Amino acid sequence: MTDRFTAKAKEAIHLSVDAAQELGRSYVGTEHLLLGLIREGQGAAWRALRCAGLSPEDLREEVARLVEGKKIKEGVSFWVFVPQPIKDLAVRCGYVDIIERAGGLVMRDCCPALGQFKPKGARVMATDSGKQAHYLPNFTGIQSWYGSGEECVDAAVTGKWGGAL
């Protein structure tokens, strides 16, 4: 049957199997197929998800991996904002559980600046989004710090900003 697939489709299927094995699954589900399409890195699915923002791979690599086995500092709120399809996939892959065990919260389909989402008493928000860093002060009245995903996670765990202001 795979003789009718393009080389890119065959590669995406191979990457889907790899994703399932990495996650300790004995089956290849739709979440693994989506991960395979994203990992293939050139198709329409990859472009559509990249346009939507944070990808499942980003969520794993830049957030879940960085907080795994750690705890968010008391008094610090750690929120990750993603589109609903990415959250659904992240739930199925276990990334949301890792973030929640650390004390974080994965929010879906919302914009912190436009929705004026901020933890009660927040005075500053660290973000890896240049757009959010620009709009947060005007929409929410709090200061924003812009840095890498790693710098934001480090700030949430230590309670101290190590990035440039």
Structure tokens, 162: 């190590």
Whether the Cβ atoms of residue 49 and residue 55 lie closer than 8 Å to each other:
yes
Q: What is the pLDDT confidence band of residue 164, given thresholds at 50, 70 and 90?
A: low
Q: Say which residues have a Cβ less than 8 Å from residue 44's Cβ, sequence separation at least 6.
A: none
Cite the DSSP H helix spans in 23-101: 30-40, 44-52, 56-58, 65-67, 84-93, 95-101
Is 144 in contact with 113 (CB distance < 8 Å)? no
Distances (CA, A) of 6 to 31, 33, 35, 81: 21, 15, 18, 35
pTM exceeds 0.85 for this model = no
Element (H, E) at 143: strand 143-146
Q: pLDDT confidence of 54, banded at 50, 70, 90? A: low
In this structure, the strands spanning 105-108 and 79-82 are: parallel
Provide the pLDDT confidence category of residue 51 given band limits of 50, 70 and 90.
Answer: low
80 phi, psi to nearest 5 deg: -120, 125
pLDDT digits (tens, 9 = 90+) for 92-133: 788 899 999 999 988 877 777 777 777 777 788 888 888 888
pLDDT at 72: 93
The band of 90, judged by pLDDT with boundaries at 50, 70 and 90, is confident
Q: Which residue has the tokens 């005007």?
A: 138
pLDDT at 157: 93
Comparing 50-54, 63-67, 134-138, the range with the smallest average pLDDT is: 50-54
Q: Going by DSSP bridges, is the β-strand pair 105-108/124-127 parallel, antiparallel, or unpaired?
A: unpaired
pLDDT tops 90 at residue 71:
yes
